[in-house]
Amino acid sequence: MDPEFWHARWAAGEIGFHEGEANPLLQRYLSRLELAPNSRIFVPLCGKTRDIAWLRQQGHRVVGAELNQSAVEALFAEMGIVPEIRSLGELKHYRGPGLDIYQGDIFALDKATLGAVDAIYDRAALVALPEPLRRQYLQHLRVISDSAPKLLITFAYDQSQMDGPPFSIPEQAVTRYYSDHYRTTLLESRPVAGGLKGQVDAQEAIWLLN
C-alpha cells in the first residue's frame, strides 16, 4: 500500500470509491452478524464512509482505521462531531461519542490500542490492497481483532480490462484467504450498475465470515 498514492487521491478528490449513502448490502445483511446492542464494530481503511454514521444509528459503537488525515477530518465534520484528538506514537486517535478513529498506517495499530471488537465490516480495505499486501493485512487483522466475525464486500471482474484498486477478488480467492480461519458464506452477489468505474462489467458480493 503506497501511502502517497492514497494521499494524492484524497487531495485530488479522486474518491469514486466513496459512496454517498450507507451501502445497501450492509443495510440488508448487518443482522446476519447477530450483534447485541452497543456492539463495537471495526471498519478498516474507513475513509469518510457514510456506513459509520449508519452503524451508529443502529445503536452500535464504531472503531475505524484510516491512513489519510483529511478523510478523518471530513468524516467527523460531516457527522457534526468535534473530536478529541491525541497522539499515540505513529497514530492519531480521533474520538467522539461511540466513535474511535485511528489515523495512520493500519499496520501500526496493535491489539491493545484497538481494544476488543465484536465484528469487522470490510467494504474498502481488502479490495484496496494489491495481492502481495493482502495476506499481511489478513494476518494482522486476525491478530488485532481476535478473529472477530465479519461482513466482507468484494468485487469480481476481468482485471485484464481494468487494473485496481478496487481489485478483483473472486469467490475462489475469498475461500483461499479465509477458509483456514472462518466459515465463508456468500450472502448475495449482484451486478454493479453501469459497470465498475463505468469501465468494466463487475459483480459486487457480500460475505459472512464467522
User: How would you classify the pairing of strands 202-209 and 150-157?
Assistant: antiparallel
94 is written with which cell numbers?
Answer: 480521533
Dihedral angle at the C-alpha atoms of 87, 93, 94, 95, nearest 10 degrees? Answer: -120
Place of cell 465490516: 121
Q: Is 66 annotated as a binding residue?
A: yes
Q: Is 10 annotated as a binding residue?
A: yes
Q: Is 142 annotated as a binding residue?
A: no
Beta bridge partners of 209: 150, 184
Q: Is 123 annotated as a binding residue?
A: yes
Q: Which residues contact 162 (CB under 8 A, 6 or more apart)?
A: 196, 197, 199, 200
Among 66, 134, 58, smallest CA distance to 105 is for 66
Annotated binding site for S-adenosyl-L-methionine: 10, 45, 66, 123
Annotated binding site: 10, 45, 66, 123
